[in-house]
Each structure stands twice: as structure tokens, then as C-alpha cells.
Amino acid sequence: MNDQHALYPATLLLHSGIDRTPHGETSEAMFLTSGFVYDDAEQAEATFLGQATHYQYSRFGNPTVAAFEARLAALEGAEACRATATGMAAVSSALLSHLRHGDRIVASRALFGSCHWIVSQLLPRYGIESVFVDGGDLDAWAEALSVPTACVLLETPSNPMLDIVDLRAVCDMAHRAGAVVVVDNVFATPLLQQPLQFGADVVVYSCTKHIDGQGRVLGGAVLGTKAWIETTLQPFLRNTGPAMSPFNAWVLSKGLETLTLRVDAMTRNAHAVADMLAASPGIARVWYPARADHPQHRLAMRQMSAGGTLVTFAVEGGKADAFRMMNALELVAISNNLGDSRSMVTHPATTTHMKIGPEERAALGITDGVIRLSVGLEDVRDLLRDLRRGLDALADRGQRRAAE
Ligand SMILES: *Cc1c(COP(=O)(O)O)cnc(C)c1O
């Protein structure tokens, strides 16, 4: 237990981040408190001088939140972690705490919608130059990073097309340009890909996704070196206030305990679903990083230990056919969420990626036939049967078309 990195993830997630009270409870205590009291005025003074370690106020730190942070940091192999209210609070705090007027940020184009908005709309308002590149194009990265840059933001695999960015190559170029590399690792989860091992400086999560994984709470996390977290991020969090609620931290700590089981089972299901869809008439194309027909399969498997829980596919035809297939599903829910224990489908062109417009969608390969499937924990036989029901709805249409 002294060398926690010697433990495997499943064990680490049960035995790290435990700060038992004198009552000796088995499950983590929940400290639903906004503030803390001091033994005497001297202790309060020493705490504010930074000479004594004592919780002050839950906007700055809370024992339940700290236990969650310790557990996630142990899994990621990061020196430090700070939890935030949402994934977007994690992304925006990581960027805004680091960047200043006159700085430059380079980002991969295929970003989660709100991350794209922060880079393209918000940061330029504060005099920060933002540049987008095609994440799979190393020449484009090299050109964009040929001038001094403060920050790189990327997502791999990306949402929804599961494009892969070469972490090692981009981190090396970014560091030569003086940039800190921030990786949004939501799709891979900390189990299947650890960006810090490839040179990334900061990893961000929406804990709302796999870490909760059961559709209950919102949450986010930022992980990095102790020095960066304490000197750059923490003053920003402390004074702007995107703190995670201790209740949510408790729920997320319990989520981490079953993360390996859930992600392993969801990934197995996803691979089976991807294989079935790829072999089905009516499906034009399937994207799944662990399949040899993914355009960046070899790169994906250098960085990820498995293909993950998301499968993206395109039906033959357009929006009407995609909607027909989605509407025929009885088990798989229509939702814009992902990483949940229940399977969910999304039509990105009309929901999550509607606002970016047709040109940007075309640049990202998001056609009207594309469906993103977040694969859950259902028995795979039931999932496959439900998807066949969707495929049958496509086939009915094909037969009607042929008869017309
Ligand atoms: C969901 C998500 C976010 C935002 O997280 P919230 O918890 O919804 O704020 C950021 N990045 C990616 C890749 C996501 O999937």
C-alpha cells in the first residue's frame, strides 16, 4: 500500500483516497459542510498564513472532494488533481488559469462543442489568439507550432468521429514551442489511455461521463504536476469558485470503485457491436479505434489499451434513414449523453454538432447519416438484437424503395 503505483487499477480504485475518521467507517464519510472551525484564533491565523494545514472553506477544499481527487490522481498517475463542478468548468479553468492577454492557443478542430466555443469565441475576447488544426495532420501541427505558443488543447479519440491525435508527436512539438499540453481524455477514460505518459502536461475530464457512469451527477477534474496545479490552477479555482459539491464527489468516488468493471464490460460490448454493424447491409461505414479498418488504427493502439466504449457509424442514406434506425430502437435510448451504463444513440448533425454549421461539420466528416453510439452495460445479446431491429427498419425502407 505504500507504493500505490504498484497496485493494479481495480485495486487502486478501492484502496486509494481513503481518509477514515476515528469512527472507522468502511465507506467514505461524506462531509456536507461549507465551512470549518478552528481550535483557537492562533490556528486560524496559522492556517491563513499557510503555516498550518486545516480546511478553511469548501470553495477552496473539502475532505470528501479531496478523497475523490486523491483516488483519481492515483489512477491517472498524476501528482495532483482538482475537482470541479462540471467537465466544462475543468476545461475553462485549466485554460483561463494558464493563459493571458497576448498568448496563443493551438487546438485540434475536432473538439467537444463547448470546448470549441471557448477556444474560438471566448478566448479571443481576452486577446488570446486561437488557431485550429486538423488533429490528424502532423504537418499542420508543425506549422501551427512553429511560433511561440502558450497552450495546446486536444481531444483523442474525438467526439463524434473518433479521430486520433498522435499524443507523443504533438506533445514534443508543443513543448518546443513552449506550450503546455492539455488533453481532454473523456472518450478514452483514465483506464484506456494515460496522456501524461506520452508527454501531456494536463489532463481534463468530464466526470459526468464514465467516472460517474450512471447518469447521476455532473463533475469535472483537472490533473497535472503539483507545481502547476498549486501555483497556476488553484488560485484561479479558489477565487472564481467552480468547486465540486462534496455530495457529487462522494458519488464520483463510489463511481471510481466500479470504473474498471464498467469500462471493461462496455468496451467488450462496443467492440462486438462495431463488428456486427460493420458486417451489416445498410451501414456505409463504422469507426471504432480497435478495428483494423479505423484509418488510424495502429496509432490508436499505440496510445490506447482498447477501443473504448463509443462506436460511430454512418447509415447508407442521410438524416431520414438515420432517424428511422434510431426511432426503431427499443432498448438503446436517444440522448446526447455518453459514457453511461445504459446505451445511448445521438445524431450529431442535428443535436450536439448542429450549431457548428454545415461547413465545419463537413470538415469534421460529420455527415447526416452519422450516428454516435455510446455502448452500455446491457447483455450484449440484447443490444445486438435491438440494433438489428434498427437495421430492419432501414431494410424495410430499402425494400419499399426497390418496389416503388
Ligand atoms: C461531456 C464532455 C465535456 C463537458 O463535460 P460536462 O461535464 O458536460 O461539463 C467535455 N469534453 C468532452 C469530450 C465531453 O464528452
Residue 305: how many other CB atoms lie within 10 Å: 13
Concatenating the DSSP letter of every residue in 375-396 gives --SS-HHHHHHHHHHHHHHHHH
Residues 6+ apart with CB under 8 A from 130: 104, 105, 106, 107, 119, 120, 123, 124
pLDDT at 355: 87
Whether residues 305 and 164 share a domain: the answer is no
Classify 173 as helix, strand or coil.
helix
- Tell me, in angstroms, the distance from the centre of ligand 1 to residue 196's CA: 19
Residues 198 and 313 in one domain: no
Contact between 96 and 280 under an 8 Å Cβ cutoff? The reply is no
Q: Which element (helix H / strand E) includes 397?
A: helix 380-403
Residue 5 pLDDT > 70, yes or no? Answer: no
Close Cβ partners of 310 (under 8 Å, ≥ 6 residues apart): 157, 160, 162, 187, 270, 338, 372, 373, 374, 375
How would you label 65-81 residue by residue, b for 16+ Cβ within 10 Å and e otherwise?
A: bbbbbbbbbbbbebebb
Q: Is residue 4 part of a domain?
A: no
> Would residue 3 count as lying in a domain?
no
| CA–centroid distance, residue 159 to ligand 1 (Å) | 10
Ligand 1 centroid from CA 246, angstroms: 20
Q: How confident is the model at residue 1 (pLDDT cuts 50, 70, 90)?
A: very low
- Percent of the chain topping pLDDT 70: 97
257, 286, 308 - which closes a domain: 257
Q: Which of 231, 257, 283 is the last residue of a domain?
A: 257
Q: Which residues form the pocket of ligand 1, taking CB atoms under 6 Å from any ligand atom?
A: 86-88, 91, 112, 115, 155, 159, 184, 186, 206, 208-209, 218, 220
Closest residue CA from atom 15 of ligand 1: 186
- Best of 84, 95, 108, 114 to mutate for ligand 1, by most ligand atoms within 8 A of CB? 114
Q: What is the pLDDT of residues 71-122, one digit of tens each?
A: 999 999 999 999 999 999 999 999 999 999 999 999 999 999 899 999 999 9
pLDDT, tens digit (0-9, with 9 covering 90-100), for 27-50: 999 999 999 999 999 999 999 999
Is the pLDDT assigned to residue 4 strictly greater than 70? no
Residue 145 belongs to a domain: yes
Cell for 278? 460493420
How many domains does the chain fold into?
2
Average confidence (pLDDT) over 310-338: 97
Confidence class for position 403, pLDDT limits 50, 70, 90: low
User: Atom of ligand 1 at shortest distance to CA of 155?
Assistant: 13
CA–centroid distance, residue 337 to ligand 1 (Å)? 9
For a mutational test of ligand 1's pocket, the pick from 118, 208, 248, 351, i.e. the residue with the most ligand atoms closer than 8 A to its C-beta, is 208
- For residue 274, the domain's CATH number is 3.90.1150.10
Q: Are residues 141 and 264 in the same domain?
A: no
Q: 84 near 242, Cβ under 8 Å?
A: yes
Query: Do 221 and 307 reside in the same domain of the chain?
Result: no
Residue 288 lies in a domain: yes
- Could you tell me where the DSSP H helices lie in 194-312? 226-228, 234-240, 246-257, 259-278, 297-303
Ligand 1 mean position to 191 CA, how many Å?
Answer: 17
Pocket perturbation via mutation, ligand 1, pick of 91, 95, 186, 335 by most ligand atoms within 8 A of CB: 186
Mean pLDDT of 129-156: 98
Distance 86 CA to ligand 1 centre (A): 8
Q: Is the residue at 298 inside a domain?
A: yes
Q: Whose CA is nearest to atom 2 of ligand 1?
A: 206
Domain containing residue 183: CATH number: 3.40.640.10
Domain boundary among 242, 257, 272: 257
- Nearest residue (CA) to ligand 1, atom 4: 87
pLDDT surpassing 50 at residue 2: no
Distance 317 CA to ligand 1 centre (A): 29
pLDDT tens digits for range 161-176:
999 999 999 999 999 9
Assigned domain for 168 exists: yes
Q: Which atom of ligand 1 is nearest to the CA of 338?
A: 15
| Together in a domain, 266 and 230 | no
CA atoms within 13 A on the CB side of 232: 21
Strands, sheet with 220-224, edge to edge from the N-terminal-most edge strand: 80-84, 220-224, 202-206, 180-184, 151-155, 104-108, 129-133
Decide if 97 is inside a domain.
yes
Q: What is the pLDDT of residues 233-260, one digit of tens each?
A: 999 999 999 999 999 999 999 999 999 9
**Which residue pairs, CB below 8 angstroms and at least 24 apart, start in 398-404?**
398/282
The average pLDDT across 382-403 equals 85
Q: Do 263 and 238 reside in the same domain of the chain?
A: no
pLDDT at position 395, please? 82
For residues 276 and 286, what is the distance between their CA atoms, to the nearest angstrom?
10
- Give the integer Cα–Cα distance in Å for 154 and 166: 10
Determine which residue's CA is closest to atom 7 belonging to ligand 1: 87
Q: How far apart are CA 12 and CA 5, in angstroms?
A: 8
For residues 246 and 251, give the distance between their C-alpha atoms in angstroms, rounded to a whole number. 9
Q: Whose CA is nearest to atom 6 of ligand 1?
A: 87
Shared-domain flag, residues 230 and 352: no
CA of 382 to the centre of ligand 1 (A): 28
Q: What is the pLDDT of residue 147?
A: 97
Please state the rounded mean pLDDT for residues 307-321.
Answer: 97
Q: Is residue 284, in this structure, part of any structural domain at all? A: yes
195 and 338 inside one domain: no
Residue 9 has pLDDT above 60, yes or no: yes
Cα 205 to averaged position of ligand 1 atoms, centre (Å): 7
Within this chain, do residues 149 and 266 fall inside the same structural domain, yes or no? no
- Do 179 and 209 belong together in one domain? yes
> Which grid cell sits at 201?
502536461
Which of 49-58, 147-156, 290-299, 327-336 is predicted with the least confidence, judged by mean pLDDT? 49-58
Query: Of all helices (H) and strands (E), which one includes residue 105?
Result: strand 104-108
Same domain membership, residue 134 and residue 93: yes
Residue numbers of the domain that contains 246:
9-257
Sign, CA torsion 358/360/363/365: negative
* C-alpha 218 to ligand 1 mean position (Å): 9
Q: How far is CA 291 from CA 12, 274, 389, in A?
A: 30, 8, 23
CA distance 73 to 71: 5
- Average pLDDT of the chain? 95
- Written as one string, the DSSP assignment of 278-303 is HTSTTEEEEE-TTSTTSTTHHHHHHH
Q: Domain check: are 354 and 331 in the same one?
A: yes
pLDDT band at 14 (very low <50, low <70, confident <90, very high): very high
The per-residue pLDDT for range 355-391, each reduced to its tens digit, is: 888 998 999 999 999 999 999 999 999 999 999 999 9
